[in-house]
Amino acid sequence: MAVTAFHTYRKDNWWLRPLLIFSGLTAFIIYTTWAAFQGDHYTFGPYLSPFYSPEIFGSSPHAWFGPQPSWWPAIIPFSPAFIILAGPAGMRFTCYYYRGSYYKAFWADPPACTVTEPRKTYKGEHSFPLIMQNIHRYFFYPAAAFVIILAYDAYKAMWFTDVAGETHFGMGIGTLVLAANATLLGCYTFGCHSFRHLVGGIRDQLSKSPIRKISYDCVSCLNRKHSNWAWLSLFCVLFADIYVRLCSMGVWTDLRIF
Ligand code: FES
């Protein structure tokens, strides 16, 4: 008997989860692309949008090496976000959890457990192009550096300059937003499967070192909720950019706690 695509005996709404994932990731990609092309309204006082951090080159006081470099090709529009977004995007795109989700949601491979898929052959990740996903372990290193930089951004977001040019310690809602972003991204990044292997394993077995065993347990603890951290950090980084952007545009007022 020929089995049609999307055939299943399941009676539940199995299509709802892939649909939500498809909608969520599509909305995130559209917004991120739009925000990266803007090239402005990404700072407000001591706040820097995480989509633009680190600002390697740029026009704001947060830029490490000054404004747009003269060697930047004239035919390519410039935005500080273009220089850095490949790092975090690569980490998420190749993440084991996201792969399992967007394979189902975007090309129904398979659409859900015990639901038939619309193809006859299974190539999986053993051949090009998906074999490239194995690069994931190497994205961990730049991703860890991003967490450290964003934590430093959260620290800098505690120092406000007054009208007299004096800098004071303080805290605004934006400080909390940036701190939450760094924390959630840290929980996502340091719960990575590849990092778990890195800290705990030596040649297919767990290390006997007590330090490495404790580290392995900590990473495993984060890893158990990896999908939760993935979504929470995704929403938070999106909201952090929106928050800084709307404050910079004068639409929202950043409330100072002290
Ligand atoms: Fe998700 Fe590595 S498995 S970040």
Q: Give 110-173 as a DSSP string.
A: SSSTT---S-S---TTSSTTGGGGGGHHHHHHHHHHHHHHHHHHHHHTTEEE-TTS-EEE--BH
Each residue's pLDDT tens digit, 92-113: 999 999 999 999 999 888 889 9
Number of H helices, E strands in the chain: 9, 6
pTM equals 0.93
Predicted local distance difference test score (pLDDT) of residue 1: 56
Share of the chain above pLDDT 90, in %: 79
Give the closest residue to 179 by CA, choosing from 46, 58, 87: 46
Looking at residues 144-149, what average pLDDT do you find?
A: 98
Give the Å distance between the CA of 18 and the centre of ligand 1.
Answer: 19
Each residue's pLDDT tens digit, 220-245: 999 999 999 999 999 999 999 999 99
Give the Å distance between the CA of 132 and the centre of ligand 1.
Answer: 15
Each residue's pLDDT tens digit, 3-37: 677 888 888 999 999 999 999 999 999 999 999 99
- Ligand 1, atom nearest to 194 Cα: 2
Residues with CB under 6 A from ligand 1: 91, 95-97, 136, 192-194, 226
Predicted local distance difference test score (pLDDT) of residue 101: 95
Position 141: which residue type?
A: Y
